Chains A and B, each alone.
Chain A
Amino acid sequence: MSLVFLAAVIFVFISPELKNVSRETFAAETTTNSEVSEGLTCQCGCGLTVANCNMPTCGFSVPTRAAIDRMINQGMTRAQIIAFYRRQYGEKVLSAPTTEGFNILAWTMPFIALALGGGMMVLAVGRWHSNQPSAPADSNASAQPTTFDPELRRKLEKELEERR
C-alpha cells in the first residue's frame, strides 16, 4: 500500500501541467501585473486587492490595472509602482502593513504571542512533570476478595454516556 501511495505522489508531481507551470513560474523574472496589483488595495470599498476586485465597472481597480501595465512597459519595478500609489493615496492603499514604526507590531505580535504561549506551555508541562506522584509501594495481598474495579466501572459508564 505504501508503494502504491508513493507512486501516486510521484505521478502527481511529474504531471505535465505542474511541470509546465513551475517552469513558467520560475522562468518569470520580470515584474507582472498580478505581483503589483496584489500589493495594492482597491479603493472602491470592496476590501479586496486590486488583483482580486472583480467588479467589471470598478472605478479604481480597472483603471489601476491598466495603469500598472503601462508603468511596467515603461520599465518601472514593483517597488517603484507601489511607492507611486502610496504617495497618491497614503498607506491605506497598501495591501499589507509596512515594516516601519508601529506597523512592526502587526508582523511581530503573532510570533511573540506564539513564543510566549510556547514558553508558558513548556513551563506548565515541566511543573506537571515534577508533580508526578511516585509509584505506590506494593502492598500485601488483602484479605478482602477481589471486587469489580470501580475505575473500570467509571470508564464503562463514561463510554456508554458518550455513545448516547
Chain B
Amino acid sequence: MPQLGKLALAIALILAAYSIVANIYGARRHLPDFVVSARHAVWAMCAMVTIAVVVLWIALLRSDFSLEYVAAYSSTTLPRVYKITSLWGGQQGSLLFWTWLLSIFTSIAAFQNRRRNPEIAPYALAVLAGVAIFFLLMLNFVTRPFDLLATIPAEGSDLNPLLQNYWMAIHPPSLYTGYVSATVPFAFGAAALISGKLDDGWIRSTRRWAIFSWFFLTLGNMFGARWAYEVLGWGGYWAWDPVENAAFMPWLVMTAYLHSVMIQERKDMLKVWNLSLIGLAFGLTLFGTFITRSGVISSVHSFTQSGLGPYFLSFLITVTLAYTALLIFRSKQLRSPAEFESYLSREAAFLFNNLMLVGIAFAVFWGTIFPVLSEAVRGVKITVGPPFFNRVNGPLALGLVFLMGIGPLIAWRRTTTSNLIRSFAAPVAIGVATGIVAAASGLRQWYVLTAFSLAAFVLGTVLVEFRRGMNARRHMVAEPRAKALVNLVAKNNRRYGGYIIHVGAIVAFVGIVGSSFFRTEVKKSVHVGDSFTIGSYTLRFQGLDQADTPHLESATARVQVLSDDGREITVMSPAKLFFKRPQQPATKVAIRSTPASDLYVVLAGIDDDGQTATFEVFLTPLVFWLWAGGLMMVLGTVIVMWPNVRERAAIATALSRSTTDAGELADAAPGGD
C-alpha cells in the first residue's frame, strides 16, 4: 500500500511538469489542444495526490507502523479522530496536505477558466503547476511521507499531546486553506505579467479567490488564538510567536490588497501596487512555512522543524526575484493616466489604509527576523517578544482604526468641507462622548481612552452608512425598518458585508484592548474547603478526582465559584493531565465566559496528599468580544461572497437591451444601413 502512495506522488510530479510545458507551448503557439491537455494533466495530478493522501490516511487509521510517519505520529491508543488529524501533525504529512490543497485549488481554477481568460489562464495554471512541482519535489525526494522502517515497532510514538484536541481538526486546515488559496490570485497576477494582458481582468477573475483566502486566514488566525487560549494555560491568546506572526502577516497584506483593488477597479490606478501586494501575500505564505519548518527562529510550533529550510528559502528567493523581474519588465505598460483629485477622497483614505496595513506587516516581519539579523551582525542572540510587538504595533493599530472610520463616509474623487462635517459630525460626537464616559468611569490610560473613542467613532460611521442606506430605501420603497435593512444588505452585499466585517474587526479590537490592559491574576495554594477571591468572585476548592486510562492519567479539581453575595454561580473543573506516550504533562483549563469578562482557572499544582492544590486564576475583561468580533468578520465575509442572482440577471438583461438598442439606433441614424 505505501508503494501506491509513492507511485502516486511520482506520477503527480510528472503530470505537473507536463502541465507546465503544455500550457506554455499551447499558449504561445495558439494550440488549444495542448492547453486542454494541460488542464486534464492538472486534474490527473490532483487525483494522484488525492490517492497519496488516502493511502496515508488508511495507514494512520490501521496503525501501520511499517511507515516511519505513522510510527512517529500515531499509536494504537490514539483516538480515531486524532489519527485522522495526524495527517497534518508532522512534517511530511503537513506538506502532503498542503500539496493536496494546492492540487484541488489548481483543479478548480482550471475548471473555472476552461472557457474564459484564454490569454492568461494557461500561464496562470503553469505557475500553479510550478508551485506544485516544488512541493512534489520535496515529497518525492527530501521529506518522504511513505518511507518505511527497517524494523517495525509494536507501538507508535503517538501524536504530541498538545495536538490532541478538537482544534487540531480545524485550525491547521483553515490556515492552510488560507495560505494555499492565495496562490491562485498570485498565479493570475504573474500570468498577467507574463502574457502582457495587464488590464484588471486578472483581478476580476480572482477577486473571489482573494476573499476566500482572506476568509480562511481570518478563521485560521482566530482558531489559533482560541486554541492557545483554551489549551496553553497562560491566560492569553497571542504570544507573537514567529509562527503566529507568519499567519498574521499574509492576512494583513491580503486585507490591504482587497481594499486597494477597489481603486484599480474604479479608477484603473495602482496596478503595480496591486501586483506587488498579491506577490507579497504569496511570498509571505512561503515565508511562513519556511519559518515553521526551518528552525531558523525558535518557536513553540517546533514540531515541524526539519532540514527543509534551505530548500524553502531558495524557492522563496527564486519566486521573489522572478516576480520582481517581471514587474520591472512590464513597468512601462503598467503605468496608467491616474486621476487623483483630492487628499480628501476615498482613494486617499484607502492608500493610507494600505500604508498602515503594510506598515504593521513590516513591523511584525522586522521583529520576527531581527533576532537572526542581530546574531548575524553582532554574534549575540537576542529575543524579540511581546513587549516589542505590543509597543510598536499598538500605536499603528490606532492609526488603522482611525482610517477604518474615515473610508466608508468619505466620497470617491473629492469630498467638500461641508460634506465632511455633515458626514462625520455624529460619529465624532459618539467617539468623543465615549471617551468622556470612559474617563468619567475611572479609566485613565491614554491608550485605552483613545482606543475606545476611536472604536466608537468607527462604529458610528458604520451606523451612519446603514442609516443612510435604509432611509434611501424607505424613501423609494415604503417598507418597514427591518425589511429595509435586510434588503439593503442583500442588494448591496459587497458593500454592506464589508461594513459588517469592519464592525467585527472593531469589536475584536475592543476585546483585545480590554483583555490586554485589564487582566488580573491571582495565584493561591489552598486546602480542600478553603477559598480565595478574585474580583467579585469567591473560589472554593472542593476536592480532587483522579482517573487513569491507557492513554493518560488525570487529576481534576472541583472549584465552586460564588458571587459576592455567596450564591453559587457554577462549579469549574480545571485539570492536570499526564499523557503516557509520549510521557508529557499538560493542563486542561476551565473557563467561564461572559460578555463582561472571562474567569480562567488553571490547576497549577497538587500536593502528594491531594488535599492542597495551587490555582492560577485570571479575570480577563472583554475577551468575549474578541471571539464575537471574529464571528462577525466571518459572517460579513459570507455576505460579501454570497452570489447576488437577481442583480446578475438584471445586469444581463440590461446588456442584452443595450445590444438591441444600439443596433436599432444605428439603423435609424441618417446614412446608416
Contact = CB atoms under 8 A, between A and B. Distances in A.
Interface of A: 1-2, 5-6, 9-10, 12-26, 33-34, 38-39, 41, 45-49, 51-57, 90-97, 101-103, 105-107, 109-111, 113-114, 117-118, 121, 125, 128-129, 131-133, 143-148, 152-153, 156-164
Contacts of B385: 41, 47-49, 95-96
Given A90-B380, A160-B651, 19 more contacts: A5-B459, A6-B430, A10-B437, A21-B621, A24-B520, A47-B239, A47-B299, A52-B239, A91-B381, A92-B380, A102-B378, A106-B370, A110-B363, A110-B367, A113-B366, A114-B356, A125-B340, A131-B340, A145-B668
B648 A163 contact: yes
A117 B361 CA distance: 13
B621 A17 contact: yes
Contacts of A15: 596
Interface in B516-549: 517-521, 523, 535-536
A48 B241 contact: yes
A92 B426 CA distance: 50
Contacts of B585: 55-57
B666 interface: yes
Interface string B465-500: 001000000000000000000000000000000000
Contact of A90 (B362, B381, B442): B381
Contact of B669 (A1, A6, A145, A158): A145
Nearest to A14: B441
Contact of A22 (B236, B518, B602, B647): B518
Given A17-B597, A147-B665, A47 B242 contact: yes
A92 B644 CA distance: 55
B233 interface: yes
A110 B359 contact: yes
Given A54-B587, A114-B355, A131 B337 contact: yes
Contacts of A153: 655, 658
B582 to A, nearest CB: 13
B302 interface: yes
Contacts of B387: 38-39, 95-96
Nearest to B399: A114
A13 B382 CA distance: 40
B388 interface: yes
A121 B339 contact: no
B520 A94 contact: no
Contacts of A94: 382-383
B655 A47 contact: no
Interface of B: 204-205, 207, 232-234, 236, 239, 241-242, 265, 269, 298-300, 302, 337-343, 348, 351-352, 355-356, 358-359, 362-363, 366-367, 370, 374, 377-378, 380-388, 391-392, 396, 426, 430, 433-434, 437-438, 441-444, 452, 456, 459-460, 463, 467, 514, 517-521, 523, 535-536, 576, 585-587, 596-597, 602, 604-605, 619, 621-622, 643-644, 647-648, 651-652, 654-655, 658, 661-662, 665-666, 668-670
Given A22-B518, A96-B387, A109-B366, A147 B662 contact: yes
Contacts, number: 242
B55 to A, nearest CB: 34
Given A18-B621, A103-B374, A143-B670, A92 B384 contact: no
Among A9, A25, A53, A94, the one with the most B-chain Cβ atoms within 10 Å of its Cβ is: A9
A52 to B, nearest CB: 4
Given A21-B520, A96-B385, A117-B359, A132 B536 contact: no
A114 to B, nearest CB: 4
Given A52-B236, A56-B576, A132 B341 contact: yes
Contacts of B587: 54, 56
A18 to B, nearest CB: 5
A106 B367 contact: yes
B294 to A, nearest CB: 14
A2 B430 contact: yes
B595 to A, nearest CB: 8
Contact of B604 (A24, A56, A105): A56
- Shortest 8 CB-CB distances between A and B: which pairs? A128-B340, A95-B385, A110-B363, A96-B387, A54-B233, A52-B234, A92-B381, A96-B388
A159 B351 contact: no
A35 B444 CA distance: 19
B370 A2 contact: no
Contact of B521 (A34, A54, A106, A159): A34
Contacts of B367: 106, 110
